[in-house]
Structure 1
Amino acid sequence: MSIRQYYPGAKLGVVCKVFGRTRQAWYKQRWAIDNTDVRDAILLEHVQEVRKDIPRIGTRKLHHLLAPVFEEHKIQIGRDKFFDLLAEHSMLVRRRKRRKAITTDSNHPFYKYPNLIRDLEVTRPNHVWVSDITYLRLMNGFGYLSLVTDAYSRKIVGYCLYPTLERIGPLKAAEMAIAHYTRNRNQPLVHHSDRGLQYCCADYTGLMEQHDISISMTENGDPYENAIAERMNGILKHQFGLNQTFRNFTEAMQTVDKAIATYNNIYPHGSCDYLTPEQAHTKQGKLSSKWKRKQIETTVN
């Protein structure tokens, strides 16, 4: 509450004199308060705009995406203050853990390939692709999303949402990736996945061999052996709203299409110097990582 609100009937000059302040100091404080309110309104409006496309994007990436807004409006606000602003308005995101569907069946007679990427330094697009299957919840069951992600740029180069765990979904995702496989075509490419039936079957390994793509697989079931693919599942679910329950398969497919297009072209990736995956896919050489291990975002609903 301001001094004018405490003493509504008194003249400003008298009140300032009693408290040992000048008129200029009062006006400066009043302007600062008003200016902060305007700043907050601008920022919150832009946060809501970004979250129309990326519903659960975190504070650090929001702060990065809104840098042009800060510059346009001459706003100076650090990440901590920005975090506090979102917390004050209940706009932080909460991670949810729910029952999982099983997507990997490694109990099969097919050959399981060794891990070729354990000590490999990835330095270009189309050097290593990582693949995985994750589930989406439908009102009447599950849909299964197969992803092929470029390990260098983190771009999703192939995907397919399929109603069952048959090999057709992963095959379609791989075929999409291969159809757009043009850059660095004359250099070696490794495809890495878990040891699930879908990736070990003859149809899938045959497709890789047909296009001279080396085959690599996890060896002990540790999720860190396919960490990039696991991380991709989490990003799409927790930041792009794919962890909701969809009314039907069509609604899920439409949401997946939009989420992946937005992710590839708008999302600033912490593992790629905050470039979007599409931008990173045009680069070569080592990209700096902005990602910090064990970073936890306090959450408010």
Structure 2
Amino acid sequence: MEGRPRRSFTDDYKRQCAELVVSSGRSIPSVAKELGLRDSVLRRWVERFEPQPTSAARRPITQATPMSADQASEIARLRQENERLRMERDILKKSRDLCRNPDMSFRFIEDHRDSYPVRLMCAVLEVSPAGYYAWRDRPLSARAAHNVTLLAAIRQVHQDSSGRYGSPRIHAVLRRQDRGVSRGRIERIMSRYGIRAIMARPRRVHTTDSRHHLPIAPNLIGRDFTAEAPNRLWLADITYIPTAEGWLYLAAVMDLFSRKIVGWAMRDHMQVELASAALTMAIQQRRPQAGLIHHSDRGVHYASYAYRDALKAAGIIASMSRKADCYDNAPMESFFHTLKTELVHHRNYETRAEARRDIFAFIEGFYNRTRLHSAVGYLAPIEVELKTA
């Protein structure tokens, strides 16, 4: 069994950690715990990389002109009306998947009565307040009471995953909590209350160019996506992230044993340096022994002399997919699909910097440390590796 290497971090990783603290407004201990770092280490990185305030931030605040009593009254009325309309819209949105019968409507009102006025919900759902209160006073059956408790647990797991977990992973989490409940029952409750994993249809854009005359490495894995231990087989690939400033490109390296992303880099270009930076991070953090297999597509980034020299210097053996066959690198394709459907397709990034911070937090704070992976027995990558340490 290989010993655990000492963790080492690139400046790019440190800068992203510091930017995550500054941009999110969260405390250093909170972010450090999420990323598995010591508070003192993260504090030094923040002090080193914290951006200086802009001139706009230093601009003095001018005093507003006082408004009249009539203007203040009208503004208050409009705000109250806007708040009522907002609540009506939210109620309709959250209840759209309900089977429209009184029992389901009453259950919805009971679940949301701390968030919205009961009479407003009754009006929107077209039921009477008297009927709701009569329903509420009825005693619950044992199964109905258990369903209420189970629904609260499902919603908590769903919320903790930022809406990314569907019934399989919620079932896995509840099993860890020693809740003896079937996946079918969880699916029925989730369907009844409109709880589902956030998903979006991914768009396919080719990010690598295999039209070159550089040497091609043989395919050494042949779609055998298994590894006996960490640092035996790495997969690598590149994807794109749309922002208002243009594309942000992400190169990533995955350890197949645990599905952990061990190296990544984000740039505004598709040059060889992008892939090399991700490889450098992976080597620096993992310090693998000679003989590790590195599998990628045939893109010019991975076939370049610079990249092959870096692999050779680390004692890493190159392997490449067949031409235009994404299934030869399926786990990496699966990771990018997860990234897009659980994060990117639900964001509208104004800047590349905003996208970098979000993707960094997803990879290092959620995907590697928290997200349950079906391919490794519904464990998080960090758990898989700790079990082998």
* TM score, norm. by length of structure 1: 0.76
Instruction: Give the alignment partner of residue 188 of structure 1, picking from 291, 310, 318.
Output: 291
The one-letter amino acid paired with 2:240 is Y
1:125, 1:282 within 8 Å by CA — same for their partners in 2? no
Give the structure, 1 or 2, with the largest relative contact order (CA under 8 Å, sep 6 or more). Answer: 1
- The SS at the match of 2:239 is strand
The one-letter amino acid paired with 1:227 is A
Is 270-279 or 31-40 further displaced after alignment?
31-40
- The SS at the match of 1:221 is coil
Is 222-231 or 189-198 further displaced after alignment?
222-231
Q: What is the number of equivalent residue pairs in this alignment?
A: 251
1:128, 1:150 within 8 Å by CA — same for their partners in 2? yes
Is 112-121 or 122-131 further displaced after alignment?
112-121
| 2:234 pairs with 1:129 | yes
- Cα distance in 2 for partners of 1:76, 1:29 equals 24
Number of the residue aligned with 1:242: 344
The alpha-carbon deviation at position 186 of structure 1 amounts to 3.7
Instruction: Give the alignment partner of residue 162 of structure 1, picking from 264, 267, 278.
Output: 267
1:126, 1:150 within 8 Å by CA — same for their partners in 2? yes
| 2:149 pairs with 1:39 | yes
Which has the larger helix fraction? 2
Q: Which runs of 5+ in 1 are unaligned?
A: 3-27, 285-301
38 and 118 in structure 1: CA distance in 2 versus 1, 3 angstrom threshold: same
The alpha-carbon deviation at position 181 of structure 1 amounts to 1.7
The alpha-carbon deviation at position 68 of structure 1 amounts to 4.3
The alpha-carbon deviation at position 66 of structure 1 amounts to 2.9
- Cα distance in 1 for partners of 2:150, 2:293 equals 47
Q: Deviations over 1:236-292 (max 9, x none)?
A: 2223x12333221111111111111211111121111222111222455xxxxxxxx
Is 116-125 or 99-108 further displaced after alignment?
116-125
254 and 218 in structure 1: CA distance in 2 versus 1, 3 angstrom threshold: same
- Cα distance in 2 for partners of 1:45, 1:93 equals 11
| 2:221 pairs with 1:84 | no
The alpha-carbon deviation at position 36 of structure 1 amounts to 3.5
Instruction: Give the alignment partner of residue 153 of structure 1, picking from 258, 264, 270.
Output: 258
| 2:164 pairs with 1:56 | yes
1:103, 1:133 within 8 Å by CA — same for their partners in 2? yes
The alpha-carbon deviation at position 57 of structure 1 amounts to 2.4
- The SS at the match of 1:110 is coil
The alpha-carbon deviation at position 226 of structure 1 amounts to 0.8
1:117, 1:216 within 8 Å by CA — same for their partners in 2? yes
89 and 247 in structure 1: CA distance in 2 versus 1, 3 angstrom threshold: farther
37 and 274 in structure 1: CA distance in 2 versus 1, 3 angstrom threshold: closer
The alpha-carbon deviation at position 56 of structure 1 amounts to 2.1
The one-letter amino acid paired with 2:270 is L
2:265, 2:275 within 8 Å by CA — same for their partners in 1? yes
Q: Deviations over 1:223-245 (max 9, x none)?
A: 11111111111122223x12333
The alpha-carbon deviation at position 45 of structure 1 amounts to 3.5
The alpha-carbon deviation at position 95 of structure 1 amounts to 3.8
The alpha-carbon deviation at position 96 of structure 1 amounts to 2.5
The alpha-carbon deviation at position 143 of structure 1 amounts to 0.9
The one-letter amino acid paired with 1:146 is A
Number of the residue aligned with 1:101: 205
- The SS at the match of 1:159 is strand
The one-letter amino acid paired with 1:66 is L
Number of the residue aligned with 1:118: 222
Q: Which runs of 5+ in 2 are unaligned?
A: 1-101, 104-137
The alpha-carbon deviation at position 141 of structure 1 amounts to 2.3
| 2:382 pairs with 1:278 | yes
The RMSD of aligned alpha carbons is 2.5
* TM score, norm. by length of structure 2: 0.60
Q: Deviations over 1:48-80 (max 9, x none)?
A: 43233xx322220122123344x3xxx542111
